[in-house]
Chain A
Amino acid sequence: MGGSAVISRPELTPEEVDPRVDLGGIALRNPVLTASGTFGYGTEFGPFLDLRRIGGFVAKSLTLEPRFGNPPPRIAEAPSAMLNAISLENVGVDAFVREKLPALPEGVTVVASLFETEIDRYAEAAKRLSGAPRVAGLEVNASCPHVKSGGIEFGQDPAVLAQLIRAVRRATSAPLLVKLSPNVTHIAEMARVCEGEGADGLSLINAVQALEVDVERRRPVLANILGGLSGPAIRPIALRMVWQASRAVEIPICGIGGITSAEDAVKFLLCGASAVQVGTANYLDPGVAGDVADGLRAYAARHGFPRVQDLVGQLETGGR
């Protein structure tokens, strides 16, 4: 390698491009999923998007029991971004399996996300969810405060993260993705820990810890004080982390952070992601994930890649 000229390939039609991808044992019809917490339980999008146009969706993170979230205000805007402090609000594993899954149309790929406050509860949630029909895989949300570590996130301490993934891995044979917290110094280390404990893939990044201030009232804008930053503002951070993680591990990566268009998704693939998740953009336009999926295939065609997967890791860095 080392040349600066990008190889030009004969253009294809989108139909000639194979969009399929295997994400750690989850067969996807295309690499575009939607991110946990931004897509509800899937059914909410029925009026806006044929869910079969996208690779699949990651449902709102579930706990063993139903939980309420934080008091309002829970959300705020920042330039090119929003902050949220929803906390653990969800319907619980059982209601998800009993009511939400059966309400989905056929042919929709569902990844169940889970979080808890203790390791054995994570493992129990993983066990119950992986037995459910229609769950194609699990995503462990490691951005949850660990009560026993004094509230730091599971995903912020490599030793705690290792224990968590080991326990969940023992509890399930389903395809297992780990969603990494960006609030760490060495993302590559966290990626290696998960790979070492048997994770089948990684999803990154979760929202970036942030604070916004109301100057007139001299108060934080969120009742929780701190929130998670998401949206286009975090995309370059996410790309950097995906690039670093992809060079550290062999398992596939699902890139997340500020994706609003097919071009944004292409960036993640070039940086080493095999698939992507669209998050906050679903709020702005509930049909956008379908357009990202179509646009990704069109991009591959325009640039002569016969499989969308051929784009993965094709970032030209001059050998560095």
Chain B
Amino acid sequence: MAEPGASPAAGGEASRGMPLRVDAEVVAAECEGGANHRLRLAVPGWRGFLPGQFVMLSPGALAAVPRTDPLLPRPMAIYRAPGDRGEIEILFKRHGRGTALLAAARVGQKVGLVGPLGRGFPTADPGERAVLVAGGTGIASIYELGVRIRAAGGAVQVLLGARGVDDLMGEADFVSAGLPLRIATEDGSRGERGLVTDLLEQELRGDAATRVYACGPTPMMRRAAEIARGSGAPCLVSLENPMACGFGVCLGCAAPLREGGFALVCRDGPVFDAERIEWAGLP
């Protein structure tokens, strides 16, 4: 059973550089069709991140955000850090007040940033075989992971899922990074018709030597975990629980564990061994 308030190692490495609390400057802001948006932020003092880590973003300079509606900052996966020059990219969907305000941010404006936060994915084993399966905004959590596993000599297959083609994020980036890609959409408007977890079943086919990495809606991750278990394959998931703080003090992001008790998604995760999660207790 997990100790209340303890930090169970989530399979992360010595993963936490000191997080920053800064006002970042928007250097590029694009709508990529549908509700999909991309922000590129210049972050003073940025010292890099691990795939799977995230930032808490507020729409405006920290001291100047009107804390009305919404009150809270939004957790956002760090998509990538192009060019290693202190800039990071965020891919997100506009689906509520918070993300609408971030989507409205223009070049030159400030965005309050706290991060990088959380433990990232564990370092890939040299030469490992990995299937990365992601849906919805979960796609933003796995791009950099795929790039780094491949750079470490691993073999990567990426599976992306979306409701329809308008929902799909980042496809062109995966293609230009040369990551082998298969796509499933529920309406068949892009790639194969069906669920991305159907693709996972085909890819895995009882292969216990491949590592599965999953990020997306809870039912998708839960299904991915089942498929991996069925193959005897290890599976890591990156959970996307709602968060208030992002650094372990509000206790709002708790995920129930099979061993009993809870883990904090922001502090102990967001990456967990899928076998530790009590899926039935996750909303």
Contact = CB atoms under 8 A, between A and B. Distances in A.
A283 B21 contact: no
B256 A72 contact: yes
Interface residues of A, number: 47
Interface size class on chain B is 35 or more
Interface in B231-261: 241-242, 244-256, 261
A68 B261 CA distance: 6
Interface stretch (A25-33, A80-88, A134-142, A197-205): A80-88
Q: Is the interface of B mostly helix, strand, loop or mixed?
A: loop
Contacts of A49: 21
A212 interface: no
A250 interface: no
Given A44-B249, A48-B21, A75-B244, A89 B4 contact: yes
A81 B262 CA distance: 25
A73 B73 contact: no
Contacts of A44: 247-249
Contact of B5 (A75, A84, A95): A95
Nearest to A42: B249
A84 B256 CA distance: 17
Interface stretch (B61-69, B148-156, B158-166): B61-69
A223 interface: yes
B236 to A, nearest CB: 20
A285 B244 contact: no
Given A75-B242, A89-B5, A90-B5, A285 B62 contact: yes
A38 B251 CA distance: 9
Interface in B19-35: 19-21
B281 interface: yes
A77 interface: yes
A129 to B, nearest CB: 16
A48 B252 CA distance: 20
B147 interface: no
Contacts of A78: 71
Contact of B252 (A39, A40, A84): A84
Contact of B281 (A48, A67, A72): A72
A231 B71 contact: yes
Given A38-B249, A74-B251, A92-B4, A284 B72 contact: yes
Given A66-B4, A73-B283, A283 B72 contact: yes
Given A48-B21, A283-B72, A283-B250, A72 B245 contact: no
A80 B3 CA distance: 34
Given A68-B4, A95-B5, A40 B249 contact: yes
Most buried by B among A47, A280, A291: A47
A283 B283 contact: no
A70 to B, nearest CB: 8
A283 B68 contact: no
Given A38-B249, A40-B249, A73-B242, A82 B256 contact: no
A71 B67 contact: no
Nearest to B243: A75
A212 to B, nearest CB: 13
Contacts of B247: 44, 286
A77 to B, nearest CB: 6
Given A72-B281, A91-B3, 15 more contacts: A38-B250, A47-B18, A47-B20, A48-B114, A72-B255, A73-B283, A75-B242, A75-B244, A75-B250, A75-B252, A79-B71, A90-B5, A232-B67, A283-B72, A284-B73
17 contacts: A47-B18, A47-B20, A69-B251, A69-B262, A72-B255, A72-B256, A73-B242, A74-B253, A80-B67, A91-B5, A95-B5, A231-B67, A232-B68, A283-B245, A284-B62, A285-B63, A291-B63
